[in-house]
Amino acid sequence: MTDYPRDQISQRGGDPDAISDHYRNEKPESISVSWTDFVETIQGEDDSIEYIAAIQDTLTELERRKHERDTGMPVSAVWETDAQQRLIAEFAFAIPTREALDYLIDQGPLVELGAWKGYWAYELDKRGGDVTAYDIDPVLDPWFPVEAGDQDVLLRYSDAETLFLCWPPVGSMAYEALLLHDGDVVYIGERPGEGFKAFADIQFFDVLDARYEHVTQIDLPSHPGAKDDLHHYQPRE
């Protein structure tokens, strides 16, 4: 992992001693997706996306099982304890939509870090998108070829590529990626004001706030208890 010089970090607007306290004391009310909203949203999405189709099929199966067994346990409880985790393990944490995929393709070429199983890259590639995916520890059976690499791979690229981060892991990877990339950034996940809990670190969001203009937000269907969106950032002039 790169050891970033202090002056380089400061020049890029991310000095850990000078980052803002913009989000630190925020305690927003939860705006996580409810079970009802999740079901209604998913039923209206494009089932040509394999993740969407799998969720729709699972919901239908859970309703059938509930009807046959006449159980008092709500479908939402079964989903949260079983189906949701299986689907996440098979596909991804965030759920793509046609709108989000089309938008990402228009921002290409894309360099994705922390791609995990490469599912988003798979859907993008299937639709003609230009994407290269990396993960520090690629899985054995990915949806899409994922190369081994961390944020240092960005040294191979210019600001012509868009950095794509989908549910970046807790820690410094996403923040350090911003220090090595001068182009656009597309981030998928929650923002700190939406109950920040499982993504990157506060320095990542502080640098986005200080150095980038938030130009686009696309709502995504989210698993109950989460609130994922696509956020596009462009460097400030």
How many domains in the chain? 2
pLDDT at position 76 is: 72
Of the candidates 235, 223, 230, which has an alpha carbon nearest to the alpha carbon of residue 183? 235
Give the distance from CA 153 to its chain's centroid: 19
| 121 and 97 share one domain | yes
> In the chain, which stretches have pLDDT less than 70?
1-33, 69-73, 78-81, 192-198
pLDDT at position 128 is: 98
| 47 and 140 share one domain | no
Whether residue 123 lies inside any domain: the answer is: yes
pLDDT digits (tens, 9 = 90+) for 163-202: 999 999 988 999 999 999 999 999 999 876 555 456 788 8
How far apart CA 107 and CA 202 sit, in angstroms, is 25
Helix 35-43, helix 50-69: angle, nearest 10: 120
| 143 and 214 share one domain | yes
Residue 216 carries which DSSP code?
Answer: E
| 199 and 99 share one domain | yes
pLDDT at position 17 is: 43
pLDDT at position 114 is: 96
Q: Helix or strand or coil: residue 129?
A: coil
Domain that holds residue 53: 35-90
CATH number, residue 148: 3.40.50.150
| 111 and 219 share one domain | yes
Amino acid at 133: A
Of the candidates 94, 107, 110, which has an alpha carbon nearest to the alpha carbon of residue 49? 94
Q: Report the sign of the C-alpha dihedral through residues 233, 229, 202, 179, in that order.
A: negative
